[in-house]
Structure 1
Amino acid sequence: MTFGAIEAGGTKFVCATGSGPNDLQRVTRIPTTAPDETLTAVLDFFQAHSSPLRALGIGSFGPINPHADSPAYGRLLNTPKARWSNVDIIEPFQALNCPVAVDTDVNAAALAEYVWGAGTDVDSLLYLTIGTGIGGGFVVDGTPHHGLLHPEMGHLRVRRLEEDTFDGLCPYHGDCLEGLASGPALEARVGTQPEKLPSDHPIWSIHAQYLAQACATLIYVLSPERFVLGGGVMQQKHLFPRIRHHLRQELAGYVDLPRLTSDLDSYVVPPHLGDRAGVLGALHLAQRKALESHSQVPSHEHLSEHD
């Protein structure tokens, strides 16, 4: 038996089966349209699989209820994605007759990086994704952090730069981090797709300063041992040295640790798993769900066998 994985995004659902980074099979992408149409197509993908799934993991856009003991587990809340509010993302997959686990897409990506990627040598890892939206996931000792709901790091408030007159795009907060520094915000600022901009365009300096502010705030609050920056916008590799430079200025030597002063290159890093982090994290959610009956808490050592 194998495991199933769904990275449920606002623009596409990435589906796969397998057991780890070296065993990721039948990867397919299904456009995110109306809920019934999308979820039916995803279910069809798994039902066409020749063998039953041991468990299914879903890393979903949100906000979503991530608490397995809640009657509303797996139900999307007031999401800005049109027509998806209050959708139960688990219910259609009961037809697969296997356990289903759900978490946010960014918690899933953070979990994959912790187990198989940039965080295999640390006990805590924070993953911030900058793309169509901005979101964050935090893993400590192999467990994604929840709480009252789940982290909503993209809606941190940042100090507006004096030279920045852009109103922001967030429909809830205007000029929060997502409103000022997401991919759509960048495109609205310059009138073209960010990937078409030269690396010396002035907007990148503004963008890097906002991301550095967010990183500093999250370091002060959560003190992660590794900071991973992923998502489509972070394909611009020239952003990493810019962000590290401004982060050093933001911290101003207050947290006087080598990792935050002289070793930022190994502290703020790109995802080692690239754009596979989300779907691999969903795969690991499935593995964790399957292990629950044995009361095992997965660790780096336990999970290396799945590579």
Structure 2
Amino acid sequence: MREHAGPAFVDLQVNGFAGVDYNAAEVTTAQIAESFAAMEATGVGLCLPTIITSTTAHFAACARRILDTRHPIVAGLHMEGPYISPEDGFRGAHPLACVTEACVDDFRRRQDAADGRIRLLTLAAEVPGALAVIEAAVDMGVRVALGHTHATAAQIADAVSAGATLSTHLGNGCPAVLPRHPNVIWDQLADDALHASLIVDGHHLPASTVRAMVRAKTPERCLLVTDAIMAAGAPPGPYRLAGLDVVCSEDGRVAAPGSATLAGSALTMPRAVGLATAWTTLDVGVVWAMASTQPARYIGLEPRGHTRVRWSDDGGRVLEVAFSPTKP
């Protein structure tokens, strides 16, 4: 058995949890608050509830329901899309009908609707208007990430110059088959100005890829995220993500029925830390920081609370989690 304790986890990308979809029109503020309590029980002290590609009006309604919980776990919002690639594969599970060019006025409307609480924006570097939105977002104090992007090396470099500092779920949000080189993964992996968020669940990235990416980026520039949907913290079965029917299999893989395209995950942060520790052979304290202090500081905060986790010897099974909202 393995055990470690430290600052509580900080998840910068979570679309839902414990049977609640933060992108659903029918969800209530009370249900969202209950899901936050369930997330705390997995050791998460802070998170960025993530609203994916949608209309401005739908984004505003989702943001209001989340923020009205006034739950201390909410460190802000992650706006993922709609300024992303419309191409199949790169778009992932995001609805094509709502994908749009980047627009500073639209982003300002969304930020106003969210009471200025958008803390992280994911967009594609190549979409028209992207550089202007990156610069405007940075001026507002928002961190900007590249994701669901089919950008060239030059476009990625321009986005970094404009203020982008993160690659969202690097190695995902792109087709299964890419040119050997160059490609959008290599170009982001090689840029030391970009941190990388990684989904370590055994489905989004194989162990060897996680190990190579962490070595290339260095652990200090890697952040663990779950990209969880409502299936996380819930049994396998049928679920929804922003109106899309998905199925969570017994092994935790989440995808639309009959599709090879992943649609978020059923991952929890303790499992991500356990797997990443086993796969990278790094000290558990180093990996723990990738899931706690490093993502917190990336968004300008300190972790909230304290977490202790026990795993099986191989790190694959989470045996016990204890969370306290205060330091020990």
Q: Which has the higher helix share?
A: 1
Q: With structure 1 as the length reference, what TM-score do the two structures score?
A: 0.35
Larger Rg: 1
Q: With structure 2 as the length reference, what TM-score do the two structures score?
A: 0.34
